[in-house]
Structure 1
Amino acid sequence: MKKHSIILSLMMVLLLGFQSCDIEEEIIDEALGEELLTNADALSLLAPAYNNMRRVYGHRWFFALQTFSSDEGMLPTRGSDWFDGGVFQELHTHNWTPTHRYTTETFEHITAGLATSSQAISFLNEGTQEYAEAVALLSHFMWVALDAYGQVPYRGITDINFNDDPQILTGSEAIATIVTNLESVMPSLPTGKNTVRYTQDAAKSLMARMYLNKVVYEDRYGSNYSFSNEDMQRVIDLTTEVINSGSHALETNDYFSMFDPDNENHPEIIWAVKNEKTSVRIGGRSVSRNTTNGLSRGLLYKVDGGWEEGSDAGCALPGFLDTFDPVNDPRYFKENYPNEEGTIALADYEINRGFLEGQLYGIKTEDGSPVINEDQTVDIVPVQLFTRDFTLANHTRQVSLIAENQSVGVRVSKWSIEDLGANRDDTGVDIVVFRLADLYLMRAEAQLRLGSGDALSDINAVRVARGGSDFAKGNATLEDVYLERGFDFYWEYHRRTDQIRFEKWEDSWVDKTDSDPNKRVFPIPPGPLAQTPGLVQNPGY
C-alpha cells in the first residue's frame, strides 16, 4: 500500500468514520499513525469517506441549501421559534453572506469528504474495488463542491502529498478531471445492484448529471444557456447505458416505498447514502429530520413501539403545490389512515405521506402521550399543536417567512419516520441520491435540448409507473420535464440545481424577490478562503 505520514487525529477520524465529534487532537509519533493505517483492512480505510457523505447530505446542509433556497420549500419563523439567527430567512430570500452557518458547514463537510477520500486513495491498492470506490467518492464530493460553490480543492489521485497546497479546479477543468478519474476506475467498480456502494451505474449517473449541467458550470453567471449537442449526446448515451443495464426498475406500486426504512436495494434506487440504526462500518446513525422538520408538533407517530412528535418547521410553498394534480398524482399524498374522526387498530397506524394539507387528524393524546383503548385501538381526532399554542393543526397553503401562527404551511412527509432518540437522529432510511426516474428525465431533457429522440416516451415511462396508463402525457416540452422533476424529486436535493439550469432561479416567489445571478453559487467561507491558496471569493460576496 502507498504510505504517507499523518497525525493521530486524522488517523482516528479515518478509523472511527466520524462517529464522534469530540476527538481531541494529539500529535504523537507519526510513524505509529501510518502503521495503523497501513495495516488497516480496505473497508476500514474506505468507510470514512462513505460516512462523511451522510454529513454532506444531512438535513441542515446540502438539503437546506438545495431546498430552502428554492421555490419548493420554506422554513418560516413561527413566533419566536425557528429564527435561528436568521439563517433560514437568509437562505429563502437569497441574502446569505460568507459567514452563513449552513453554507459554511456544508463547505466544511465537503472538504472533509475530499480529505477522507484522498486519504483512502493514498493507502488503497490501485486496481482494487475499494480504490475505485474511493476515487468515485472523491469525484462525488468534487461534484457537490462544483455545483454549490463553483470551486473544487483537488490533490489528484496519484502521488498525493498532503503537505502541498491543492489545485483549485473550476468549470470545464473540474468536469474533465472528474470524468477522467471516473473513467479510469470504471472497470474496477462493481456492476449490478448495490445501492449503498458506488457502482458503475452510479458513476455513469454522476457523469450524466455533470454533462447535463456542464453549460451552467462553465458559465455560472450567463443567461440564455446554449446546451451543446455533444454534451446532450453524452447525457443520452450514459443514461441509456444505465437504463438498459437491467439492474434497476421504476417503482410502479408505492412511490413512497423508496423512502422507507427498508429502502436499501430498492429496485429503482441506483445509489443512496447508507443509514443504519446501529453502527456499521459503511453507514451509521444519521438524521431523519427531512420529514420530522416538516411535521406538526401535535402529530404523533409510532416509532419502534414508542412515540414521537414533529418539530413544526419546514413546509411547501403554495406556488409549487399549485403545479401538482393533487387528486390524480399519487406522489402528492398517500393515505395510510383516514384523515377524519374515527377509531383504528393500533397496529394499523402509520403516518400519512406526501403533502399534509388542511386540518390534520391523528391519535388522541393526553399530556403528549397516546391514549390506547382496552381493545388496542386508538381514536383518531383533530390534531392540536399541543407543544405550542394548542390551536388546531390546519395547514393552509398560504404561508409567509414570518408565519402568522404555528399551523400555516403545508407540511411534507415524504421520507419515512424511524427514530430511536428524542433528537430524532437515528434512522435506517437511506438518503436517495440517484434513482432510475432521474435517468429517464435527464435523457428526456437532453433529447429535447438536442432536438432528437423520443422524449415523450421517457416522460411517460415515469408517469405511467407512478399513475398508470391514464396518467400519460400527450406532449413533451422542456417545461413538461421541469414540472415532472418537481413532481418526482421534491424534497430530494434537486430543486436549486434544476431551477438554475432551467433559468428560473432568479424568479420571485413567496417573500423572495432577489434576482442576483451571483447567488447561483454560495460564498467560500472566510476560514478556508484565508487558509487555502488559490481559493478566491465568488463574485457578489
Structure 2
Amino acid sequence: MNKMKHLLIVALAGLVMGSCHKIEVTPNSLYTEEVFPKTDAEFQSVMGTIYTSLRGHYSLGYWFAQELSSDESILPVYGGNWFDGQGYIQLHRHDWNKDHGWITTVWNDAYSIVGLCNQTMYIFRNAPDGDSKNTAIAELKTLRAFAYWELLDMFGNVPLDTVYPSPGVQAKAARAQVFSFVESELKSAIPYLKTATGSSTYGKVTRWMANALLAKLYLNAEVYAGSPKYNEAIAACDAVIASGNFALESRGSYLTQFYPTNGPANKEFIFAIPYDPSTSNGYLFHGRYDLNRNLGIKYRYSGSTPGNYSFNQIIMNQTSGNGLINSRPSGPRATLSSFYNSYFKADPNDIRNNQWLVGLQYWSDGSPIMVRTTKKGYDQFYTGADGNAEYIYHLSIDSVIAARLNPASIDLGNDEVAWNMGIRNIKFYPDANSSSRNQSNDAPLFRYADILLMKAEAILRGGTATNGQTALSLVNSVRSNRTTSAAWTAVTLDDLYAERAREFTWECWRRNDMIRFGKYETSYGFKTNADTYRRIFPIPTMAMNTNPKLVQNPGY
C-alpha cells in the first residue's frame, strides 16, 4: 500500500468513529495536495469501508427484518434454543416493539452507511476534478440513496442527514420528501456512473444498479409517496434492458447462479454483494441457518462430523465430514407449508422447486439417510420405560411446523421431531470449500429477472407498454427459463405476485412485495395480527434517546 492510500484510510478511520448525528467533532484533515485520490483505483480504495458495511448489514439484520416479517420464512424456538428475547418470533407474529434488537440493528446499519458516505464525500471535496472524482461522488450518492431507500421503505419518515460535519440532529422528513431525495440523488448520479459490467465493476455501483434501484423506488411510489409512477418505473427498467448487458439464466443455471461458485460471470446479476469465507466482517451464514442439523455431512457443511453428538448420530455411508470438529448447522430457519404449497407444488417442472428440502432425505447415491438416537431423543414426550433404548429412523423433513411446547413462543421442542420440522431452503447452497461457517455465495440485490417482472407489474398497474413488450410476454420470458410447462395465456396481478414468490425466495423482497400487493396483514403460520401500522417499523428507542427531535411512528 502506498503512502497516499495509507493516509487516506487512516484519516477515514478517524472520521467514521463519530456518529453521523453528532456535531461536536471537528474534522482534521491529514491531506495535502500530494495525497488526495486522483485515480479510479485510489478513490475505490477509500470507499471500500462502505461496501464492507453493506456486506455485514445485508446478510443478518436486513435479512431477518425483511424475510421473517413475511410469510416466506420463520425461525421457531427449539426447547428454548433460539428464543433470543423473542426477537425472531416477534417478527413472525408482527408484535415487535421499539426495543427490538434486529430492527435497531437495521436502523443503525443504514445510518452508518449514510454517515460513511457523507464523510467520504467530505474527504473527496478537494480532490482534483475529473472523471474519476465525478464517478466516485456519483457512486457515493447512489450508495447513500440505497441506504435512504431502505430507511424510507422500513421506517417511513426519517431524518435526512446529508452533509458532513453534520449540522446537528435532524427532525424526521416526510416519507414523500425522502422519496424525492432518493429519486433526485439517483437521477443526478446516473450520468456519471460506470456502464461497464463484469469483473471490473462486479460488486460495485454502476449505472444499471442505480436504474434498478430507481425502478424499485418508482414501483413502490404509491406506497412511499401516495402517487403512482409506473411509467417512470418502466423507463428505468427499459434503461437496463436497452443496455444489452444482462440476460436471464437458463433453467439449468437458475439455481447455480446462487452457488458458492457464483460471481461476475452470472449474466443476471446487476448488483451483488460479494462474500468471502476468509473474511469475518459480513457473514453469509445461510448454510448454518437453513440446513437441517442432520444434513451437514451430505452437503459438506463446514464442521459437520459423523458423530460425537450427545443424543443423535448420522449412520454413515460416507467416511467423513469436512472442516471443524464437533460442529454442525443449527438448522432453525424454515418456510411455512402454506407458502410452499401455494407457490411451488403445482408445477413439478419448475426448477425453482429444487431449492427446497422436504420429505424423506437420501444420500447422493440414493440410499436413505438414517439417524441413530434414542426413543426419548426422537420424541421428548415418549413415556415408555425404554426411553433410553436405541431408535433408528429415516430422516424426513416435515412440512408442518407445530408448537408442541409453547404456542405463544412458537417452541417446537428439543428433540428430533422438533428439529426436523419445517421445509428448508438451500438456494444459497452450502459452501463445501469453506473452513468456517461463512460462505462464498455472493448475494444479488438486483437481478435482471426483477427488472422484467417489475416492468410487467408496472404495465399491469396501468403503465404504458414499451418496445413491443407486454406484461404477459415479460412474465413468460422469465418462466420459459424456469419451467418446461406451457407458457401462460394471460396474467393478473395475483399471478405476478405468485411468480415473484417463486423467483425471489430468500432474496429479501417478500416483505416489500406483500406490502405493495396489500397482503401484509393476512394471517399465516402463527401470525394473526392485522395491524396496518406495522407496514413500517418503529423508530428504535436508542435513536429516540439520541435524537430528541424524533417523533415515534404511529402505533408504537
TM-score tier, shorter chain, comes to 0.7 to 0.9
CA contact under 8 A between 1:79 and 1:406: conserved in structure 2? no
> In the TM superposition, what is the alpha-carbon distance from 1:493 to its structure 2 partner?
0.3
Q: Which residue of 2 aligns with 1:31?
A: 28
AA matched with 1:264: G
After superposition, the Cα gap between the structure-2 partners of 1:118 and 1:295, relative to the gap in structure 1 and judged at 3 Å, is same
List aligned pairs for 1:44-443, cutoff 5 A: 44-59=45-60, 61-124=61-124, 125=127, 127-156=133-162, 160-166=164-170, 168-193=172-197, 194-218=201-225, 228=228, 231-252=229-250, 253-265=252-264, 266-278=266-278, 285-300=281-296, 301-302=299-300, 306-307=322-323, 309-323=328-342, 324=344, 325=346, 327-333=348-354, 354-362=355-363, 380-384=367-371, 389=377, 392-400=394-402, 401-403=410-412, 405-418=418-431, 424=437, 426-443=438-455
> In the TM superposition, what is the alpha-carbon distance from 1:129 to its structure 2 partner?
1.8
TM-superposition CA deviations, 1:79-117 (whole Å, max 9, x none): 222111211111110010111111111111111111111
Partners of 2:486 and 2:157 in 1: how far apart?
42
4, 11, 14: which one pairs with 2:13?
A: 11
Q: Where does structure 2 lack aligned partners over 5 or more consecutive residues?
A: 1-7, 18-23, 303-320, 379-392, 403-409
452, 463, 473: which one pairs with 2:488?
A: 473
CA contact under 8 A between 1:113 and 1:138: conserved in structure 2? yes
Partners of 1:512 and 1:171 in 2: how far apart?
27
SS of residue in 2 equivalent to 1:434:
strand
AA matched with 1:302: R
Q: Which residue of 2 aligns with 1:445?
A: 457
After superposition, the Cα gap between the structure-2 partners of 1:291 and 1:302, relative to the gap in structure 1 and judged at 3 Å, is closer
SS of residue in 1 equivalent to 2:91:
helix
CA contact under 8 A between 1:288 and 1:418: conserved in structure 2? no
Partners of 2:207 and 2:253 in 1: how far apart?
27
Question: Are residues 1:527 and 2:531 paired?
Answer: no
> In the TM superposition, what is the alpha-carbon distance from 1:51 to its structure 2 partner?
1.1
Partners of 1:477 and 1:104 in 2: how far apart?
37
TM-superposition CA deviations, 1:259-293 (whole Å, max 9, x none): 122322210010011222345xxxx7532223431
Structure whose CA Rg is larger: 2
Partners of 1:37 and 1:539 in 2: how far apart?
52
SS of residue in 1 equivalent to 2:59:
coil
Partners of 1:206 and 1:385 in 2: how far apart?
50
Q: Which residue of 2 aligns with 1:339?
A: none
TM-score normalised over the length of structure 2 = 0.79
The number of equivalent residue pairs is: 473
> In the TM superposition, what is the alpha-carbon distance from 1:182 to its structure 2 partner?
1.4
AA matched with 1:216: V
452, 456, 472: which one pairs with 1:456?
A: 472
Partners of 2:65 and 2:143 in 1: how far apart?
20
CA contact under 8 A between 2:15 and 2:27: conserved in structure 1? no
SS of residue in 1 equivalent to 2:272:
strand
TM-superposition CA deviations, 1:292-315 (whole Å, max 9, x none): 311111112326892463211011
List aligned pairs for 1:477-516, cutoff 5 A: 477-516=492-531
Partners of 2:85 and 2:158 in 1: how far apart?
29
After superposition, the Cα gap between the structure-2 partners of 1:476 and 1:30, relative to the gap in structure 1 and judged at 3 Å, is closer
After superposition, the Cα gap between the structure-2 partners of 1:109 and 1:330, relative to the gap in structure 1 and judged at 3 Å, is same
CA contact under 8 A between 1:463 and 1:471: conserved in structure 2? no
After superposition, the Cα gap between the structure-2 partners of 1:386 and 1:521, relative to the gap in structure 1 and judged at 3 Å, is farther
SS of residue in 2 equivalent to 1:302:
coil
TM-score normalised over the length of structure 1 = 0.81
TM-superposition CA deviations, 1:223-248 (whole Å, max 9, x none): xxxx63xx000011110111121100
TM-superposition CA deviations, 1:452-501 (whole Å, max 9, x none): 43100010010001124x34212110011100000000111000110000
CA contact under 8 A between 1:151 and 1:535: conserved in structure 2? no
Q: Where does structure 1 lack aligned partners over 5 or more consecutive residues?
A: 1-5, 16-26, 220-226, 334-353, 364-377
AA matched with 2:230: M
After superposition, the Cα gap between the structure-2 partners of 1:8 and 1:47, relative to the gap in structure 1 and judged at 3 Å, is closer
Q: Which moved more, 1:474-483 or 1:451-460?
A: 451-460
> In the TM superposition, what is the alpha-carbon distance from 1:538 to its structure 2 partner?
0.7
TM-superposition CA deviations, 1:117-170 (whole Å, max 9, x none): 11111112474322211111001011011111113332336xx33243346333
After superposition, the Cα gap between the structure-2 partners of 1:187 and 1:28, relative to the gap in structure 1 and judged at 3 Å, is closer
- The percent identity for this pair of structures is 29
AA matched with 1:309: R
Partners of 1:320 and 1:85 in 2: how far apart?
26
SS of residue in 1 equivalent to 2:461:
helix
Q: Which moved more, 1:263-272 or 1:530-539?
A: 530-539
SS of residue in 1 equivalent to 2:203:
coil
CA-based RMSD of the aligned residues comes to 3.0
> In the TM superposition, what is the alpha-carbon distance from 1:383 to its structure 2 partner?
4.7
> In the TM superposition, what is the alpha-carbon distance from 1:392 to its structure 2 partner?
4.9
> In the TM superposition, what is the alpha-carbon distance from 1:447 to its structure 2 partner?
0.2
CA contact under 8 A between 1:291 and 1:412: conserved in structure 2? no
> In the TM superposition, what is the alpha-carbon distance from 1:408 to its structure 2 partner?
1.1
> In the TM superposition, what is the alpha-carbon distance from 1:201 to its structure 2 partner?
0.6
SS of residue in 2 equivalent to 1:74:
coil
After superposition, the Cα gap between the structure-2 partners of 1:379 and 1:208, relative to the gap in structure 1 and judged at 3 Å, is closer
* Greater strand proportion: 1
> In the TM superposition, what is the alpha-carbon distance from 1:38 to its structure 2 partner?
6.5
> In the TM superposition, what is the alpha-carbon distance from 1:445 to its structure 2 partner?
0.5
CA contact under 8 A between 2:155 and 2:536: conserved in structure 1? yes
Partners of 1:103 and 1:386 in 2: how far apart?
39
Q: Which residue of 1 aligns with 2:318?
A: none
After superposition, the Cα gap between the structure-2 partners of 1:232 and 1:523, relative to the gap in structure 1 and judged at 3 Å, is same
After superposition, the Cα gap between the structure-2 partners of 1:130 and 1:9, relative to the gap in structure 1 and judged at 3 Å, is closer
